[in-house]
Chains A and B, each alone.
Chain A
Amino acid sequence: MSATVTARREPSGPPARVSSRRLTERVFRIREFGIIAVLVVFVAITTAIQPSFLNEQNIQFLLINTTVFALLALGETIVVVSRNVDLSIGSVLGLSAYLSAGLFGEHHGIPVPVVFLAGLGIGLACGIANGFMVAVGRVPSLVVTLATLYIIRGIDTLIVGGNEVTAQTLPNAFTNIAHASVAGVPYVAIAVAVVIGLGAYYLRTFRSGRELYAIGSNPEAARLAGIGVGRRVFTAFTISGGIAGVAGVLWAAQYQTIDSLAGTGYELTVISAVVVGGVAIFGGSGSAVGAAVGALLLSSINSALNVLGISQLWLEAISGFLLLVAITLDRVISVKLAAALRRRSSGGGT
């Protein structure tokens, strides 16, 4: 690494301002445009081979399938950016899906928004428990959320037993959520896009959002800089839990049959989407939009395999491979970027 720095140092003639602009340009490109470019190229190639990939029905299907993952990816991004991880989201989703959708069977005519609030409440409760243990108990989030992954799934199993919520008990007003659309775009996709937009804006602009990045970059420095690390991390887990709770209700509306296995294994898929979307697994960088695009890319690959008639069996291997490529590229680029930064600062000195 240092070899390239010294080798390239000689010809760096241009003034600092130009090279700094080039630098910001590069950063800009890398973080979100990289993944968007991959998505566009991927969609273009797939459409060229099989034009029906971009027909209205397929796009709708794709968007609806992405909503739950994209939502979960937003919550996970907020946590991962602060150098933590939330492995419990799949279990939270399952618990929330069963309990909230089960309300329709127990209380006839219960309004749909109340059910969403119930899901949100369940998720928030789980998130608060996680956040409390991580921030106050000072236990690594990987361990805490690994434990709550088991515990929440266990509670779910105890409650559900051998039962399941079936489509017959769900009112049309609820099941239509997943299908209703305006001008071909499903309402759910619009709503989720708005939520992700708000989340991205929060992370990017709000002080508390920025502080999450600071914590993720260097927790010790963040503490010394006066950031309430524990409070921020607690909030991040609470938000992630709440989002997983709402995602559970959406999941229920989409799949309509909910047993004790709902959402099993989602945590690792969502983390894959987040990392593919350019969020560094050890915090400090990445955006909610990138993570959402990561989720969209994974769903698109799924859908493309379907449309192209390639066996679904390839999906898992491809998404795993993609994740490895994404993190390797990210690593290579960040090493280069560090070299460029060093070159710039040394260029400014001379």
Chain B
Amino acid sequence: MEPDLNASAVSGGPGSEVPGGAAAALRAAAPSALRWESGLAVLVVAIIIFGAMVSPQFLTSGNFFNTGVTSGEIAIMALPMTLIIISGEIDLSVASTLGMSSALLGYLWAKHWPMLAIFVMVALLGIVAGLINGLLVTRVGLPSLAVTIGTLALYRGVALILLGPNTISNFPAGYTNIGVLPIPHTQLPYNVAIFAVLAVIFGIVLHATATGRSIYAMGASPEAALFAGIRVKRIKTMLFVTSGLVCALAGVLWTFRLATAVQNNGYGQELAVVAVVLLGGVSIFGGKGSLAGVVLAVIAFAGLQNALLLTNFNQEATGIVIGGLLLVSVFAPNLIALRRVGLPRWARFRSPRGRA
């Protein structure tokens, strides 16, 4: 399965010059490369049917708005997370970066800063947060899992220090309307529109640029990527910085949508983001996955959560379904591949540089 996906994008993408070769490559690659996404598409359809069956409200435009608006930030944070996991790293600090940005937004607004200056500061904060993660991972050579567990606490801690127990909620209605009103003349919530635009950008970067190919390469084999002349450290640092910036944006959206800045905004959502990305078919070991899969997983995640909300199913217990889906998503391909694998998958758990 590993080589297929890479091969499909390398030779199948620009392969129209040699029709025969491209067709052959496509035929070889398509089954396994498309299997995951088509499986997810079936899942999405099943969830829509399920939702429509359990509640007549499910397929209304008002419900579409609600579903989108409540999942928008998770979806947005899942985009840079996808690239980071494909590159062989992980960022668990995303939700804390969101919370810290939200806190800074509230803090500066309470200090009567102009909104534009606040946006600049929040963006800078996100960049710095990402840069700290990136430098510790690439320059000091620490495992990203440990680094971002540390910054998860650190950034949430900064949010706590900034706001304490206070709640800032006197934001102007022009901003907080994004939580209740769609973009004029559409049914689209603002955060979903932003997600869509970002998804296209991230999709192009990942699937149609040299940088994107490098991200797959370094995820599949960091050393080989390095020997091939790829600036592994630089690209990874950039990915973490991008993640920080995007999470800061998500923090702003989250704050305005709920019209409140509190220190625990987005608390615990990092695992939901990771779960969505993995459900999207991205391998936790890096090197595999596609943005289309993650977008489908986002839709499945949001639709399922909403459908369960409309039934009398205990809201908090949706974790069972999400966790179950996550397990199915990793077991299905593993059970198929079990016979072929010599080394157990968990044993390939990424090792830090210098210890492998």
Contact = CB atoms under 8 A, between A and B. Distances in A.
Interface of A: 83-85, 87, 133-135, 137-144, 146-151, 153-155, 157-158, 161, 217, 219-220, 223, 229-230, 233, 260, 264-265, 268-269, 271-272, 275, 280-282, 284, 311, 313-321, 323-324, 327-328, 331-332, 334-335, 338
B319 A157 contact: yes
A90 to B, nearest CB: 10
A148 B155 CA distance: 26
29 contacts: A83-B349, A83-B351, A84-B346, A133-B327, A133-B331, A135-B344, A135-B346, A139-B330, A140-B284, A141-B349, A144-B330, A147-B324, A157-B317, A158-B317, A219-B348, A223-B343, A265-B267, A268-B152, A282-B349, A282-B352, A311-B164, A313-B160, A319-B157, A320-B155, A323-B153, A327-B150, A328-B136, A328-B142, A332-B140
B316 A157 contact: yes
A137 B331 contact: yes
A146 B324 CA distance: 10
B331 A316 contact: no
Interface stretch (B116-124, B217-225, B270-278): B270-278
Task: Give the residue among B153, B154, B316, B318 with the most A Cβ atoms within 10 A.
Answer: B153
A148 B153 contact: no
A268 B323 contact: no
Instruction: For the complex of A and B, list the 7 residue pairs with the smallest distance between their C-beta atoms, beginning with the closest.
Output: A317-B157, A320-B153, A320-B154, A150-B323, A154-B320, A316-B157, A219-B347
A344 B326 CA distance: 48
A219 B142 CA distance: 20
A141 B145 CA distance: 13
Interface string B257-274: 000000000011001001
A151 B323 contact: yes
A88 B142 CA distance: 24
A158 B146 contact: no
Interface of B: 92, 136, 140-143, 145-147, 149-158, 160-161, 164, 267-268, 271, 274-275, 278, 284-285, 314, 316-324, 326-327, 330-331, 334-335, 338, 341, 343-352, 354-355
Nearest to A160: B316
Nearest to A321: B154
A324 B152 CA distance: 11
A324 B345 contact: no
Given A142-B284, A313-B161, 6 more contacts: A143-B330, A148-B323, A149-B271, A282-B143, A314-B161, A316-B157
